[in-house]
Amino acid sequence: MCGRCARRAAGCEHGQGTVEYAVMTAAFLALVVALGVLWRPLEGGLFVEHALMAASHHVQGTAPGGVADVFLY
């Protein structure tokens, strides 16, 4: 224990700011990497194409699917 911490009941808290900074930096870097990974499919329109394909399949079977959705809800 250091001299300043010996007088405290909670113990030594030196370096807490450094640990918090390291945790936040890691979280920020993870966010940046995740956005970088998603950039290519978003730029190429992969998600929009998938949504359009899914919507066209849903529209084709609207009547039976809609009735089933109402009864299953």
Taking the domains of the chain in order of start, what are their residue ranges?
A: 5-72
Quick check: pTM over 0.75? no
> In Å, how far are 6, 20, 21, 54, 73 from 11, measured between CA atoms?
7, 18, 21, 58, 56
Which tens digit of pLDDT belongs to each residue from 15-66? 899 999 999 999 999 999 999 999 988 888 888 888 877 776 655 555 566 6
